[in-house]
Amino acid sequence: MIWKRRGKSPETDAAIDAGSVDDQSKATSPERAETNVMTKSPSAQPMPSTGLSVAGEQRPSFLDRLWASSNDPMRAETMPRFIASASDEVENQGEGVLMRRRIALRDAIGASQPVTDREHFAGRHDALRQLIDAVEQQRLHVVVYGERGIGKTSLMHVFADTAREARYLVLYGSCGTETHFANLFRAFAARIPRIYHRAVVPNSPEAEAGDSFDVMLPPTFGPRELAELFSDVTGTRVILILDEYDRVTDAGFRRDVAELVKNLSDRAARVQLVLAGVAQNLDEILGYAPSVRRNIVGLPMRPMTPEEVRDMVGIAESAADLEYADAATRLITVMAGGSPYLVRLLAHHAGLAAIDTRSAIVTEAHATTAVERVLTEWNASLPRRVQQSLSREDARAKWPMLIAAARAGSAGDGLFTAEEVVTELEDGRNAVVIEQELRSFVGPNDLLEAEAKEGETRFRFRYPGVSALLLMSSAMARLSA
Ligand SMILES: Nc1ncnc2c1ncn2[C@@H]1O[C@H](COP(=O)(O)OP(=O)(O)OP(=O)(O)O)[C@@H](O)[C@H]1O
Ligand SMILES: [Mg+2]
Question: Ligand 1 centre and the CA of 29: distance in Å?
Answer: 16
Q: What is the pLDDT of residue 133?
A: 94
56 phi-psi bin (left φ>0, alpha ψ -120 to 50, beta other) = left
54 vs 38: CA distance, rounded Å: 32
Reply yes or no on domain 124-300 having CATH 3.40.50.300: yes
Backbone angles phi, psi at 362, to 5 degrees: -90, 115
Q: Is the distance from the beta carbon of residue 4 to the nearest atom of ligand 1 less than 6 Å? A: no
Of all atoms in ligand 1, which is nearest to the CA of residue 112? 29
In this prediction the pTM is 0.80
- Please check whether residue 123 is in contact with residue 304, taking contact to mean a CB–CB distance below 8 angstroms: yes
Q: Is the distance from the beta carbon of residue 152 to the nearest atom of ligand 1 less than 6 Å? A: yes
Question: Ligand 2 centre and the CA of 192: distance in Å?
Answer: 24
105 vs 267: CA distance, rounded Å: 49
188 vs 183: CA distance, rounded Å: 9
Of all atoms in ligand 1, which is nearest to the CA of residue 278? 25
> Which residue owns the Cα nearest ligand 1 atom 13?
341
Question: Ligand 2 centre and the CA of 300: distance in Å?
Answer: 14
Q: What is the pLDDT of residue 206?
A: 74
412 phi-psi bin (left φ>0, alpha ψ -120 to 50, beta other) = left
Q: What is the pLDDT of residue 221?
A: 92
43 vs 209: CA distance, rounded Å: 49
Q: What is the pLDDT of residue 86?
A: 67
Q: Is the distance from the beta carbon of residue 108 to the nearest atom of ligand 1 less than 6 Å? A: no
Q: What is the pLDDT of residue 284?
A: 80
Question: Ligand 2 centre and the CA of 68: distance in Å?
Answer: 37
Listed in sequence order, the DSSP H helices in 190-325 are 205-208, 223-230, 251-266, 282-286, 306-320
The ligand that comes nearest to the alpha carbon of residue 150 is 1
| Contacts of residue 311, Cβ cutoff 8 Å, sequence gap at least 6 | 122, 123
Q: What is the pLDDT of residue 401?
A: 95
Q: Is the distance from the beta carbon of residue 45 to the nearest atom of ligand 1 less than 6 Å? A: no
291 vs 295: CA distance, rounded Å: 8
Residue 460 is classified by DSSP as E
Q: Is the distance from the beta carbon of residue 348 to the nearest atom of ligand 1 less than 6 Å? A: no
Architecture of domain 384-462: Orthogonal Bundle (1.10)
Question: Ligand 1 centre and the CA of 309: distance in Å?
Answer: 13
Q: What is the pLDDT of residue 97?
A: 78
Instruction: List the chain domain ranges.
Output: 124-300, 384-462
Q: Is the distance from the beta carbon of residue 154 to the nearest atom of ligand 1 less than 6 Å? A: yes
Q: What is the pLDDT of residue 123?
A: 92
Averaged over successive runs of 10 residues, the pLDDT of the chain (481 residues) comes to: 35 35 42 31 47 74 77 55 62 68 90 87 94 94 90 95 94 90 93 89 77 89 94 94 90 90 92 91 77 89 94 94 96 91 95 93 96 92 89 90 91 84 91 94 90 90 88 84 71
Q: Is the distance from the beta carbon of residue 247 to the nearest atom of ligand 1 less than 6 Å? A: no
Q: Is the distance from the beta carbon of residue 122 to the nearest atom of ligand 1 less than 6 Å? A: yes
Q: What is the pLDDT of residue 8?
A: 34
Of all atoms in ligand 1, which is nearest to the CA of residue 345? 29
Q: Is the distance from the beta carbon of residue 306 to the nearest atom of ligand 1 less than 6 Å? A: no
| Contacts of residue 420, Cβ cutoff 8 Å, sequence gap at least 6 | 408
Q: What is the pLDDT of residue 281?
A: 79
Q: Is the distance from the beta carbon of residue 36 to the nearest atom of ligand 1 less than 6 Å? A: yes
Candidate of 109, 126, 153 to mutate for ligand 1, largest count of ligand atoms within 8 Å of Cβ: 153
- State the helix-helix crossing angle for 61-68 and 464-480, rounded to 10 degrees: 130
Of all atoms in ligand 1, which is nearest to the CA of residue 115? 31
